[in-house]
A and B are shown apart, each in its own frame.
Chain A
Amino acid sequence: MEERLTCIGVESTAHTFGIGVVKHPPFEALCDVRRVYRPSSGGIHPSEAAKHHLQNASNALQEALSKISVEDIDLVSFSRGPGLGPCLRVGAALARMIAMKLGKPLVGVNHAAAHVEIARALTKAANPVALYVSGGNTQVIHPSEGRYVVLGETEDIAVGNLIDAFARKAGLGFPGGPRVMELASKSSRLIRLPYSVKGMNVSFSGMLTMLESLVGKEPVEDLCFSLQETAFSMLIEVSERAMAMLGLDEFIIAGGVGANRRLREMAGQMCRERKALFLDYPVEYYADNGVMIAWGGIVQYRLGESLRVEESFVKPRWRLSDVKSPPPGLYSN
């Protein structure tokens, strides 16, 4: 049994500023503080989001520290990338400050890896294929021995980006996911949209162009329904292809778009048909949060990773394939 560790993690890649604390083993989330930036108009403005994070950093930390005792903290982690530079720097600065103040090790966590690892921890998936879907990312990932293999990904925009951009055009506000899901449930009329799957890659820009051109010409419920059915079918198809290719029978979804009920329903159906398991977990952990960064900090620290403060610069374009992955199942108790 490994030594018991408590890690405080700071998330700030995009719209969410989060602080989480995780103790392990056994896995226990001690606190989960979130402050979510909502743009007054349009999508995320990186500098405005960073300003929001800066304004909330201190009160979020206070709230987190009211739930745990500072002496228990063994480790400090932060979301190092990929993400929006100005936002990442706020979280990194706070994490550095805590680490220096407490004299504890600092760990830089890859945001995508953290999404996958929190899903593995909560589902106890031993050897899954992961579909990582959010506002900025769409990847089919296999956490294999020692590293993350990106099997497929979007060739242009992320699926969350498709949803948000369409929602903006249709006047549904940001983030678009919840409204699109709600409206889609009121329709069952499929409008044919570009279905672009190439091997294990997908492409959404053609679909976005067509959807945008149909706003105002077709009922918005039908557009939402068609968007979800078409885009999610593409995602489930490439995920299934990855599972078939690797001969794996566990499937998890990570990232904010995973909060969509229809996507998870399709995942369950796909897995049932191939006698595989779709492993679901509480919906609040699909979205960005500090808990996953705290957990990612523990995972990476156990793999021997830590950073000196002077080398802890952020990596806005940090690719997942450059990150070490823990061996299957080892840390998932």
Chain B
Amino acid sequence: MLSLLPQGCTRIKTLYQGAEAIVDLCEWLGREVVVKTRVSKGYRVRELDDFIRRSRTVREASLLSSAKKAGVNTPFVYHVNPVEGWIIMSYAGSQSLRSMQGSSIFASLIHMLGDAVGRLHSAGIVHGDLTFSNVLVSETMLTLIDFGLGEFSNEVEKKAEDVYTLFSSLTPLQDSETLMKLFLEGYRASAGESAARVEDRLREIGSRGRYVEKELRRRASSGKIGRT
């Protein structure tokens, strides 16, 4: 499926096609840009569909800009059309943190990511989907992308969920414990006073899930993170 592009955009290629949005690499006004279009869903009644696409587009654009103010690299937002559900933003390359696994600088990137997420959280921004593929790397600079599930919130719960999501990606790695420590070190330095509460909540989240048997619940809350 191809999305209807904003006027003046020429598609170079489709970068990603998710359930909710299509992300195209395009040429626009002589430069390479990324166009994210939220597609209309026929299963939703029109009114609800319009509302969801509009509000999510506006929120995402605004999160991208606010993150920048908090000192975190994100794509530059060039143009937004809430009615048609698209955002035109700068292209931050294609190298994700996923492809950096096993590299000698991976650990220091995780430390930097801790710092970046700490900044977001202290500015009241929650990313909502902190996976490796949503962290792009160029040289030694990190760019956070896809704030589609993000929100403005100062709830400890939501911040802890952010970290929890990232830790789920780290868990299968060989040196996962060291990496988690490094992340939290970077996080503490920039997240400010709420860091400790987020870490407490992080341990608690691992012990949840409906119908978790009592024994597992005990084991999880005794410090081992990981949902059963």
Q: Is B196 an interface position by the 8 A CB rule?
A: no
The proximity string for A residues 222-254 relative to B, scoring 1 for CB distances below 8 Å and 0 otherwise, is 000000011001001100110111000000000
CB contacts (< 8 Å) of A284 on chain B: these are: none
CB contacts (< 8 Å) of B30 on chain A: these are: none
Of A72-80, A87-95, A208-216, A315-323, the one with at least 4 CB within 8 A of chain B: A315-323
The proximity string for A residues 185-205 relative to B, scoring 1 for CB distances below 8 Å and 0 otherwise, is 000101010010011000000
* B51:A321 contact, CB within 8 angstroms: no
With an 8 Å Cβ cutoff, the count of chain A residues facing the other chain is 32
* A233:B44 contact, CB within 8 angstroms: yes
Shortest distance from the beta carbon of A211 to any chain B beta carbon, whole Å = 15
Shortest distance from the beta carbon of A193 to any chain B beta carbon, whole Å = 9
Report the separation of the CA atoms of residues A318 and B47 in the bound assembly, to the nearest whole angstrom.
Answer: 40
* A319:B209 contact, CB within 8 angstroms: yes
Give the contacting residue for B211; candidates A199, A265, A273, A319; CB below 8 A. Answer: A319
* A199:B20 contact, CB within 8 angstroms: no
B149's closest neighbor in chain A, by CB? Answer: A199
Q: Which residues of B13-43 are within 8 A (CB) of A? A: 17-20, 41-43
The secondary-structure label for the interface of chain B is loop
Q: Is B52 an interface position by the 8 A CB rule?
A: yes
Give the contacting residue for A266; candidates B20, B43, B161, B212; CB below 8 A. Answer: B43
CB contacts (< 8 Å) of B212 on chain A: these are: 317, 319
Give the contacting residue for A198; candidates B44, B128, B209; CB below 8 A. Answer: B128
Q: Given the known A-B contacts A241-B19, A243-B19, A244-B18, are A270 and B210 also in contact in the complex, defined by CB atoms under 8 Å? A: no
Q: Is B222 an interface position by the 8 A CB rule?
A: no
Give the contacting residue for A233; candidates B18, B20, B43, B149; CB below 8 A. Answer: B43
CB contacts (< 8 Å) of A127 on chain B: these are: none
With an 8 Å Cβ cutoff, the count of chain B residues facing the other chain is 25
Q: Is B129 an interface position by the 8 A CB rule?
A: yes
A319's closest neighbor in chain B, by CB? Answer: B211
Report the separation of the CA atoms of residues A153 and B212 in the bound assembly, to the nearest whole angstrom.
Answer: 13
* B43:A270 contact, CB within 8 angstroms: yes
Report the separation of the CA atoms of residues A256 and B128 in the bound assembly, to the nearest whole angstrom.
Answer: 31
Q: Is A269 an interface position by the 8 A CB rule?
A: yes
The proximity string for B residues 33-63 relative to A, scoring 1 for CB distances below 8 Å and 0 otherwise, is 0000000011111011001100000000000
**Beyond known contacts A190-B48, A230-B48, A233-B52: 14 more, CB 8 A cutoff:** A82-B211, A190-B45, A195-B48, A199-B128, A229-B44, A237-B19, A244-B17, A244-B18, A245-B19, A269-B43, A273-B41, A273-B42, A274-B19, A317-B210
Interface residues of B (CB under 8 A from A): 1, 17-20, 41-45, 47-48, 51-52, 128-129, 149, 161, 165, 209-213, 228
